[in-house]
Amino acid sequence: MADDSRTFAQDRTILADHDVTELAKLALQRLARPGGARPVKSKGLAERLDDLCDAYLSDRNEDRHQIIHQMRADGISTVEIIDHVIPAAAAVLGQRWTDNAISFVDVTIGTARLQEAVRALIAHGLSSTGTYLDNVKNSAGPDRVHTPRVLLVIPRPEHHTLGAFVAADQFRRFGYAVDIAVDQHPKEVAVTLRDRRYSMIGISIAGRRTLASSRELVDIIRATVTRVTPIVLGGSLLDTDQDLKMATGVDHVARTVRDALEICGLSIVELDPPSKSVADHL
């Protein structure tokens, strides 16, 4: 495990950027202290983000449930938790590992729990308000009879999956059905492509070790798909200065879900648009 973790460390890039972390701090600022005291200053905000990470490293389920419940009770929406707070927490876990404050096993377990939190929050939102696809049918209008579908692929041997699941929820909120292929052989992905028609295929990567398999995946996709379907690369590896479009053969690279849809010329239906800013709650 130690050797694997060190190799992984060489390929890893930090998961979230400065803007996402700041948004998360703004969201956590809404966690009012007892008695309605004013939000704490920046050091307190960082401590609260650390508390969130500690909860997801803990074996106590009640710690994790309590901190998410408190955020929602204080007015932070499920969308903001999924889009900003949880990715920032994952970034902090990654930084702790880089600083040798936690082990490879710790960061793996913590990130897996964060991913499960995303799934649980999505499921709770769907059960409370009806499915996103029901909302598509009600709001799309006569020009959008069929719900478009996106395939998100996390190629071998990519370890980072949290970002793809967050992106999948965002695609759904923009009016798309989403299929996710995790750790599948390219030939398995090809079978999926033969069975279904997609408006876009997204590939999510964070480590350089995934570049070769991503190139193989793109080649198989192009040989399998009979109609022109844009292939878009996303993930934290985009923060490097490498020409990833050339290295992988994709059509486009995009940092956000909205950017991916727009660069492909695909329509956007705002089913659950985010607030103008997390700071609107403050």
Mean pLDDT is lowest, of 185-189, 196-200, 237-241, 257-261, for: 237-241
pLDDT value at position 84?
78
Question: What share of the chain in percent tops pLDDT 90?
Answer: 22
The beta-strand segments (E) located in 65-211 are 149-154, 177-182, 200-204
Extents of the domains making up the chain = 2-129, 140-263
What is the pLDDT averaged over residues 5-14? Answer: 33
Residue 236 in this model has a pLDDT that exceeds 70: yes
DSSP code of residue 142 = T
Least confident of 188-197, 253-262, 271-280: 271-280
Interhelix angle 104-129/86-98, rounded to 10 degrees, is: 180
**What pLDDT score was predicted for residue 128?**
52
CB within 8 Å of 123: residues ≥ 6 apart: none
3-state SS assignment for residue 195: helix
pLDDT score of 270: 67
DSSP, collapsed to helix, strand or coil, labels residue 151 as strand
Check whether domain 140-263 has CATH 1.10.10.10, yes or no? no
| 142 against 83, higher pLDDT | 83
Separation of alpha carbons 212 and 218, rounded Å: 10
pLDDT digits (tens, 9 = 90+) for 139-187: 444 444 578 999 999 988 777 778 888 888 889 888 899 999 988 888 8
Predicted pLDDT of residue 112:
84
Q: With cut-offs at 50, 70 and 90, classify the pLDDT of residue 216.
A: very high
Q: What is the pLDDT of residues 35-56, one digit of tens each?
A: 333 333 444 456 667 888 898 8
